[in-house]
A and B are shown apart, each in its own frame.
Chain A
Amino acid sequence: MDALDSGTDQDPEVTGTPATLGNTAAAVIPSTRPVRRAFVISTVMALVVLLAAEFLYFTFEAPFFFTWDNLLNILTAASIIGIIAAPGTMLLIAGQFDLSVGSGAAFCGMVLAVVAQDHGLFIGVLAAVAAGAGLGILNGFLVTVIEINALITTLGTLAVFRGLTEVLSSGQVVAVNNFSSIGTARPFLNIPVPVIILAVIVAIFWFVLRYTTFGRAMYAIGANPLAARLVGIRSKRLIFIGFVLSGLCVSLGGLINSSQLGSASPNTALGMELSVVTAIVLGGTSLTGGRGTILGTVIGLLVISVLNNGMVLMNIDPFYQDIARGCLLILAVAFDRLSSRFGALSGRQTA
């Protein structure tokens, strides 16, 4: 495993001799960012434990839960969120948000449906991908050129894209015919295509974040934008690219959704940004940027998906699922904040 992200580090305070402790202690950082790897590792461990607990509980409480078919169901349900959360993780590592993903996915799906009616499926798919790229370019432009805060930008475009979707469809559900392949086909080991796409996207972003200068630069931008500029990173360009990648993955999510349903609805993926952000933050990506991993996001995603699935199997009212999701998000953020505070305190304690 890559040394940077491996969990083998030990707590400096515990292992340091008094002499080196002096050095450690002198790191007087008024920043409130987490500085201690040991604690972050335990965040991931806590998640794995949470996931295992969910598994155990649902296995005993819901007989159908622990079956190959149901596990595939869980992954299928998670795939669209995961495909969108992968670039989202990269953006948050660079200190940026994309909240417009849910309505972006609906818009791309609708573009597919409307264009395919007149010009055929192939052109429809191209148009949907182009629409996704266009959404990303718009977000990226507003954030890097106009320099509007990403949270506000994408909160605005979240509403705009949803409105555009409704305008495009006149508020109606539009059918998409003969396009079930990417949503429902099971070419290999009975695994549905969306799950395979999820695996590919996760692998790509995992690789990019870990083994490319682009990935390194994203971490650097999130850790300290000013310093990133002074070591020669063209931050704006890279953040722009990050938003475009997000837009492309959003269009992929929209296509899969339309394929699964055989139609595009203006209400598709309503509130999906909540699930996406929850998965990312639950997975340990710091809200202040500079830290986070794709694998963490995958675990976060599984925690949410298993919970949703288990609650359905146990026949729990779907309204409670929203409550559970919201609580998970707050729990995740609370964890991030508490670990920041804990990290800052321990970094300062002997200063």
Chain B
Amino acid sequence: MAFELQTRAIRKSFSGVEVLHGVDLDAVGGSVLALLGENGAGKSTLVKILSGDYKPDSGEIHIDGDIRQSLDPVSARQIGIRMIFQEIVDAPTLTVAENIALGHLPRRLGLVDWSTVRRKAVQVLTELEVELDPNAIVGELRVGERQIIEIARELTEDARCLILDEPTAALSSQEVERLFQFIRRLRDRGVAIIYITHRLDEVPTIADRVQVLRDGNVVIRGEVAQFARKELVQAMVGRAVGEVKRPESIARHEPAQPRIRLEAAASGDDFLDVNLEAYAGEVVALYGKIGSGSASVAEALFGMRALTAGKLELNGETMSFGHPREAIEADVGLMPADRQREAAFMVRSVAENLVAPSWPRIARLGALITSGMESTIYARWHDLLGVRSRNDPAQLLATLSGGNQQKVLLGRWLERNSKVLVLIEPTRGVDVGARQEIYKLLRGLAAEGVAIVVSTSDYEEVVQVADRAVVMARGAIVANLDGNEITTERLIAEGH
């Protein structure tokens, strides 16, 4: 008989506000359940109840018919519930093998059994078909590789229910396919899988059943085949949104000179012989899976990565940026990949976050500034950016959702009046609704004459936003796609 994990009428409140209003969920061994919903819909709260992190206010949890009021982390683990979080929580200074064994180091005679640690790591990596050196230091790996290690760690023990919270957010399409194969293998072994995702295109590929949460209620529940993609989107958002479609091709009268240009550029082992240009008024996508070098090229445009060959030209002038400040003064802006680590001042106000790169520009007498000035500027952008918040310039950035944080951080380059905007994975961890709004903002900026370069590993993003696409693989450009040549099929085919 297949393993069954069910919740019945789960309710949960925080600070007197109910976020789950009686939620049912059925996870069955040998089946993949896709759990969909926008940020704040209650998905994470629900699965944290399953992993024992939260106690529900009311409702029941059924485990193979055994009825419980709540779980705690230890018993959830004993039952075989394994949770893989979206954020990476590894030990960056340890090796791959040590990270995989983290928390359950095999011992012999009271000492760590290092040969077993290594053997198990090799075994699980082989099973995942990942070519990673077990002795590599995790902190030196790429985000996608670290994510795989996170999953690998949970798979070394017997799992009966695997909960994955947006595991593919940082993975390349190839890595995603590998992960899917692995999930299917686990499913066929009888594991119940709960798969939380934003990416609707993944649902028919991986899931057997689907459940959509919105504002703490279940809005859709059933077999995947029952629902069209559009229905799922509407269920998640609660309103109709624009589907994946190409932006209208705008009549570009190409200026003689590109705004920014890389010529025969190389940077160490990261990329080689890259020729790239972005003209005013266009969005150029730099598509490639994680590790293809597309992010490194984007960083080179901002001077974060020194060129070892070739040159960087801005409006025809050869440049070399020693500090990001020089790039900013040359009207280049960068949205880095890791919002939290590289871009956001979480404990500061939204106004300060928005105005930061413009401080030297708006200051009176070269140095004087008031938060009144910042608030005025923020008020100007708040609606234009479509930030959903309390519309209080003093609100801390940390209190906004990921998508709204991203809008504020994008706004900083709008306020700075950047002529070249480089974005790396601009919608990672951003929900469907906010994603569309960010694309609209980018298109709007391009229409105003900004040259935009989007480095991304998300092919849907490329299709939705780019006028031209440059496809990278293994540190080199492998294809240049123009206009309607940009399709998901082409991108996937070229990117391998």
Which A residues form the contact surface with B (CB < 8 A)?
Answer: 2-6, 9, 11-16, 18-31, 33-37, 210-214, 216-217, 219-220, 223-224, 226-234, 286, 290-291, 346-347, 349-351
Contacts and interface: CB of A to CB of B under 8 A. Distances in A.
Interface in B260-292: none
Contact of B329 (A4, A25, A232): A232
Nearest to A222: B347
Contacts of B389: 20, 23
Contacts of A347: 398-399
Given A4-B351, A14-B15, 8 more contacts: A19-B215, A21-B40, A26-B40, A213-B360, A223-B347, A224-B343, A230-B324, A232-B327
A350 to B, nearest CB: 5
A25 B359 contact: no
A18 B238 CA distance: 15
Contacts of A31: 340, 346
A90 B138 CA distance: 35
A28 B396 contact: no
B215 A18 contact: yes
B16 to A, nearest CB: 8
B390 A12 contact: yes
A11 B45 CA distance: 21
Given A230-B334, A231-B412, A23 B398 contact: no
B359 A9 contact: no
A290 B353 CA distance: 12
A16 B388 CA distance: 12
A347 B397 CA distance: 12
Contacts of B197: none
A271 B320 CA distance: 48
Interface string B308-343: 000000000000000111011100001010001111
Given A211-B369, A220-B356, A37 B396 contact: yes
Interface in B356-370: 356-357, 359-360, 363, 367-370
Given A34-B347, A217-B359, A350 B40 contact: yes
A15 B399 CA distance: 13
28 contacts: A4-B371, A6-B394, A9-B394, A18-B19, A20-B389, A20-B390, A21-B19, A23-B400, A25-B40, A26-B401, A27-B401, A29-B398, A211-B370, A212-B363, A212-B369, A213-B369, A219-B345, A219-B352, A227-B341, A227-B343, A230-B304, A230-B343, A231-B412, A232-B324, A290-B348, A349-B14, A350-B14, A350-B45
Contact of B347 (A22, A33, A214, A231): A33
Given A4-B371, A26-B401, A27-B401, A18 B17 contact: yes
B349 interface: yes
B428 to A, nearest CB: 13
Given A34-B347, A230-B343, A214 B39 contact: no
B344 interface: yes
A217 B89 CA distance: 30
A3 B324 contact: no
B243 interface: no
Contacts of A9: 392, 394-395
Interface string B389-430: 110111110111111110000001000000000000000000
Given A216-B352, A220-B348, A234 B323 contact: yes
B15 A13 contact: yes
A29 B368 CA distance: 32
B401 A23 contact: yes
A21 B38 CA distance: 13
Residue with the highest number of chain A CB atoms closer than 10 Å, among B18, B359, B412: B359
A216 B371 CA distance: 10
A37 B399 CA distance: 10
A1 B283 CA distance: 43
Given A4-B349, A33-B346, A22 B215 contact: yes
Given A4-B371, A13-B15, A29 B345 contact: no
B41 interface: yes
Residue with the highest number of chain B CB atoms closer than 10 Å, among A27, A33, A36: A27
B276 to A, nearest CB: 21
B215 A30 contact: no
B402 A13 contact: no
Nearest to B342: A226
Contacts of A36: 396, 399
Given A13-B15, A21-B17, A35 B399 contact: yes
A23 to B, nearest CB: 4
B465 to A, nearest CB: 22
A27 B342 contact: no
A9 B374 CA distance: 17
A136 B407 CA distance: 40
Contacts of A21: 17, 19, 40
B487 interface: no
A28 B44 contact: yes
Contacts of B323: 229, 232, 234
**Shortest 7 CB-CB distances between A and B: which pairs?**
A22-B40, A26-B401, A26-B39, A232-B325, A223-B345, A35-B398, A23-B401
Contacts of A290: 345, 347-348
B396 A350 contact: no
Contact of A234 (B325, B352, B403): B325
B238 to A, nearest CB: 10
B357 A29 contact: no
A21 B17 CA distance: 9
A344 to B, nearest CB: 10
